[in-house]
Structure 1
Amino acid sequence: MGYITAGINHRTAPITLREQVAFSADQLPDALQSARSHTGIEEIAILSTCNRTEIYCALHSSAAETIEMYYGKLIDWLTHYHQINSHQTNSNLLAEHAYLFYDQEAIRHLMRVACGLDSMVLGEPQILGQLKSAYASAQEADTAGPALNRLFQHSFTTAKQIRTETAINEQPVSVAYAATRLAKQIFSDLSENTALLIGAGETIELTARHLCQQGVSNIIVANRTLERARLLTDRFGGRPVLLSDLSQVLHESDIVISSTASPIPVLGKGAVERALKQRRHKPMFMVDIAVPRDIEPEVSELADVFLYTVDDLQDVIEDNLQQRKDAARKAERMIEADTFEFMTRMRSLDAVNLLRNYRQSTEAMRDQELEKAMQWLARGANPEEVLQQFARSLTNKFMHQPSVQLKNAAAMGQQEKLEWAEKLLGLDSNQKTDSTQDA
């Protein structure tokens, strides 16, 4: 049994590539089945966020050549599924930015992701919920089998322990927090500004909470469904509007923060230009947290707009990380220990399967010889002679295959195998016998 992880993230790939390989929640069932069909891998889960797209797999073999083969198939599938190279001259575009982890490194990586140690915002808590959703999607698609189940459950347990025993997420450092902090640098008193939040997911909810804490009282939430937008405005105050009515409220907004799951931009340059005219070119601060992007990149060309993407928030985030870095060092040590524990447990499962097969084999030999002995007894044979014959036959059968293998190892000069066999069989290497007997 082996594990591999293949993917790209904010460290290895630009946003222009990350948005091309992003999966919406609606796509995942089809994508999981497609990935399994294309690669032949039975156990697959896909995590897709604004900062990463990763594929987690469990294999029946951990041989290096097998891992490389499946890695190639995964990259090939991801490339064709999203048609990444349909407008690219370089057919290896995705492979140039992708990474591969296998076995122990794959296990450690998943735990680091679950704990937020691999996130743009160190220790951010949202990733754990996203990872649980990815796991749930794989379960629903029937692509998460026993091996992936064990790995994900162990990772969730580790993440919970780390968040309980360290200060990894005590400081409010997140993309939503960074966006709010950046807005405060541009508008000194946020209480005088109107904020437009596009979307109604977890990130937007967190953004609304931070804005309220900073004194923003006038919030507009635009969403595809009015009911979902109203849930947020009921909690934090403000006005819900439909996404289709965005142009009617855009001119009121000093701060625009967007995070939807739309595959295409929901806000274009033309709409922003019209809003600026209505505002008499009063500046607008915009943060596009979504991947794929919600706001057309050309909006940044407008003189009165400050447009930031998730990649631009990195410098803001770095200022508030020192306490989390101290906690992260402790978390890394805990992950190292938990990775070793998980690997040990998985290896012991391999031994359990081997022992089960060995027991079944020996029990079959025993039953066969016992049946012969019972037949001899039924015919009136001497019980003592039957028992002696039973013991000799059973001993010879038990020893036959190990004897063949030991003789082959000796003939090939494989001394290490012979020494290991002594330990396995519980023999004293100094023990001397007066005679030997072939089995």
Structure 2
Amino acid sequence: MSFFVLGLNHKTAPLSLRERVAFGPENIHLALDELRQQPGIQEACILSTCNRTELYCVVTEGHEGRVRDWWQRHRHVRGDELSGCLYQHQDDEAVRHLMRVACGLDSLVLGEPQILGQLKQAVDLARQHGGLKALLGRLFERSFSVAKRVRTQTGIGAHGVSVAFVAVSLARQIFANMSQTKVLLIGAGETIELAGRHLHALQVGRMTVANRTLQRAQAIAGEWGAEVITLDEIPECLVDTDMVITSTASPLPLLGKGLLERVLRLRRHKPMLLIDLAVPRDIEPEVGELSDAYLYSVDDLQDIVAENQSARQQAARQAELLIGEERQRFMSWYRALPTQEQIRRYRDQAASWQQDELQRALQLLQQGQAPDAVLNELAHRLTNKLLHAPTEALRQAGESGDRETLAILSQALGIDSRPSVEP
């Protein structure tokens, strides 16, 4: 048996293909049951996110191709469509790949923590469907363990690498109490959505989303319990807003210097933080000239992002070393599995001989034979039984001139393989 990973991700496949091969909540339960019932597949787990779909399996030798065949059939995708997009890893490399995924080293955003939670959900589901047993279950446990080590020992997640995260981090430095901070988000794209998630996690006092299309704004605002307004309602909302984050596709600025001057007067010059993440800009640069308006553009934040990316790259190099240690430790355990059964049988055999000889000795003592003679015979017979197999193996290796086997046996028995007398 071997560990086997088959998958594709944001690096190898376009979104259109990732969507087709992904497993949604409505079909992943059936997919797990089908996959683990395929011939040669002993254990199985499916990880499916917006950026990757991967099948983790324990398969018997020669059955790796069945994983790909089943995936194509189940998702109705031709082999030529997947050609060049799939990657596969086996045993040592499969272990390394899973550990890197768990640590966020293979993610779109280096070091992002969401993938670890998604992996744990996938594992829980696989366990519910009987897809995890001793091997794959142990591998996931070790992968979660190394992910924890990476988080605590490298600080890979300590530095934000998105402008949205950096923008929110900047707000935390400026506002002493985020629970009393009122925020206006202008736009409803990915950047605003990400910023909204970060702000929601900080439990800001109030969050409002302004967008040209209310339906799109409502789609993301509902997740955070935020209010929704149109672009025309922005001036009125600004009067009671402490922080603005904007990221739209507007070709012209939405907020000008004149508007902000009027707003600040109505606010009695209470400071306002404005973060413009749009290109072209949503806020006129001249707004930054106002004494109570603190304006940051996407370029201002990109410098911080670049510094944080460099810090994460350094942390990632440290993480790779930790993964190397954990992978080696896990593979040593895995490779030793076949010998553990042999060791158990050998010990059971020796224990059986011990009991046989002990019972024989007790019977002889009951018959009145001298204890010294009985003990000597017990030691002699037990020693002969224990030494017979290794002695025979040494004799055969010597007679056949098999020096390699002779050396291995000698080392295992703790004896010198060199002849004591020259021939």
Q: TM-score, normalised by structure 2?
A: 0.67
Partner of 2:380: 392
Q: For residue 157 of structure 1, give the secondary structure of its aligned residue in structure 2.
A: helix
Partner of 2:70: 77
Count of paired positions: 338
Partner of 1:128: 116
Q: Classify 1:405/1:6 alpha carbon distance in 2 versus 1 (closer, same or farther; 3 Å).
A: farther
Query: Residues 247-291 of structure 1: CA distance to partner in whole angstroms, max 9, x if unpaired?
Result: xx9999xxxxxxxxxxxxxxxxxxxxxxxxxxxx988xxxxxxxx
Partner of 1:164: 152
Contact between 2:3 and 2:95, CA under 8 Å: does it hold in 1?
yes
Query: Residues 104-132 of structure 1: CA distance to partner in whole angstroms, max 9, x if unpaired?
Result: 22111111101111112111111111111
Contact between 1:4 and 1:57, CA under 8 Å: does it hold in 2?
yes
Q: Classify 1:95/1:397 alpha carbon distance in 2 versus 1 (closer, same or farther; 3 Å).
A: farther
Q: For residue 56 of structure 1, give the secondary structure of its aligned residue in structure 2.
A: strand
- Answering whether residue 393 of structure 2 is matched by residue 405 of structure 1, we say yes
Shift of 1:392: 2.8
> Quick one: distance in 2 between partners of 1:141 and 1:216?
41
Shift of 1:166: 2.2
Q: Classify 1:176/1:50 alpha carbon distance in 2 versus 1 (closer, same or farther; 3 Å).
A: farther
Paired AA for residue 31 in structure 1: A
> Quick one: distance in 1 between partners of 2:362 and 2:83?
66
Partner of 1:238: 227
Partner of 1:311: none
Paired AA for residue 71 in structure 1: E
Structure 1 unaligned blocks of 5 or more: 86-90, 181-189, 198-202, 240-248, 253-280, 284-315, 435-439
Q: For residue 35 of structure 2, give the secondary structure of its aligned residue in structure 1.
A: helix
> Quick one: distance in 1 between partners of 2:162 and 2:340?
44
> Quick one: distance in 2 between partners of 1:384 and 1:348?
42
Query: Residues 167-208 of structure 1: CA distance to partner in whole angstroms, max 9, x if unpaired?
Result: 422333369869x9xxxxxxxxx95834278xxxxx997452
Q: For residue 21 of structure 2, give the secondary structure of its aligned residue in structure 1.
A: coil
Shift of 1:329: 1.4
Q: For residue 188 of structure 2, give the secondary structure of its aligned residue in structure 1.
A: strand
- Answering whether residue 7 of structure 2 is matched by residue 14 of structure 1, we say no
Shift of 1:397: 2.0
Select between 38-47 and 406-415 the one with higher mean Cα deviation: 406-415
Partner of 2:266: none
Partner of 1:28: 28
> Quick one: distance in 2 between partners of 1:376 and 1:2?
52
Among the aligned pairs, what percent are the same residue? 39
Partner of 2:208: 217
> Quick one: distance in 1 between partners of 2:397 and 2:80?
46
> Quick one: distance in 2 between partners of 1:421 and 1:24?
55
Contact between 1:114 and 1:159, CA under 8 Å: does it hold in 2?
yes
Partner of 1:309: none
- Answering whether residue 327 of structure 2 is matched by residue 339 of structure 1, we say yes
Query: Residues 398-422 of structure 1: CA distance to partner in whole angstroms, max 9, x if unpaired?
Result: 2232233334434544311111111
Question: For residues 236-315 of structure 1, what are the structure 2 equivalents within 5 Å?
Answer: 237-239=226-228
Query: Residues 15-35 of structure 1: CA distance to partner in whole angstroms, max 9, x if unpaired?
Result: 232222211134333222211
Q: 1:151 aligns with which of 114, 120, 139?
A: 139
Shift of 1:352: 4.3
Q: Classify 1:192/1:43 alpha carbon distance in 2 versus 1 (closer, same or farther; 3 Å).
A: closer
> Quick one: distance in 1 between partners of 2:421 and 2:186?
94
Contact between 1:222 and 1:229, CA under 8 Å: does it hold in 2?
no
Paired AA for residue 41 in structure 1: I
Select between 124-133 and 383-392 the one with higher mean Cα deviation: 383-392
Partner of 1:303: none
Q: For residue 69 of structure 2, give the secondary structure of its aligned residue in structure 1.
A: helix
Q: Classify 1:35/1:26 alpha carbon distance in 2 versus 1 (closer, same or farther; 3 Å).
A: same
Q: Classify 1:50/1:396 alpha carbon distance in 2 versus 1 (closer, same or farther; 3 Å).
A: same
Query: Residues 285-311 of structure 1: CA distance to partner in whole angstroms, max 9, x if unpaired?
Result: xxxxxxxxxxxxxxxxxxxxxxxxxxx
Paired AA for residue 21 in structure 1: V
Q: Classify 1:96/1:347 alpha carbon distance in 2 versus 1 (closer, same or farther; 3 Å).
A: same
Q: Classify 1:22/1:229 alpha carbon distance in 2 versus 1 (closer, same or farther; 3 Å).
A: same
Question: For residues 88-127 of structure 1, what are the structure 2 equivalents within 5 Å?
Answer: 91-94=79-82, 96-127=84-115
Partner of 1:193: 186
> Quick one: distance in 1 between partners of 2:73 and 2:401?
50
Shift of 1:386: 3.3
Structure 2 unaligned blocks of 5 or more: 169-182, 233-248, 252-301
> Quick one: distance in 2 between partners of 1:175 and 1:146?
43
Q: For residue 321 of structure 1, give the secondary structure of its aligned residue in structure 2.
A: helix
Q: Classify 1:410/1:102 alpha carbon distance in 2 versus 1 (closer, same or farther; 3 Å).
A: farther
Paired AA for residue 173 in structure 1: V
Q: TM-score, normalised by structure 1?
A: 0.65
- Answering whether residue 412 of structure 2 is matched by residue 414 of structure 1, we say no
Contact between 1:6 and 1:55, CA under 8 Å: does it hold in 2?
yes
> Quick one: distance in 2 between partners of 1:396 and 1:144?
45
Q: Classify 1:28/1:375 alpha carbon distance in 2 versus 1 (closer, same or farther; 3 Å).
A: farther
> Quick one: distance in 2 between partners of 1:129 and 1:238?
29
Select between 148-157 and 404-413 the one with higher mean Cα deviation: 404-413
Q: 2:313 aligns with which of 322, 325, 329?
A: 325
Paired AA for residue 209 in structure 2: N
> In angstroms, what is the RMSD of aligned CA positions?
4.2
> Quick one: distance in 2 between partners of 1:27 and 1:176?
33
Query: Residues 284-343 of structure 1: CA distance to partner in whole angstroms, max 9, x if unpaired?
Result: xxxxxxxxxxxxxxxxxxxxxxxxxxxxxxxx9x96733321221121122212222322
> Quick one: distance in 1 between partners of 2:198 and 2:389?
70
- Answering whether residue 371 of structure 2 is matched by residue 378 of structure 1, we say no
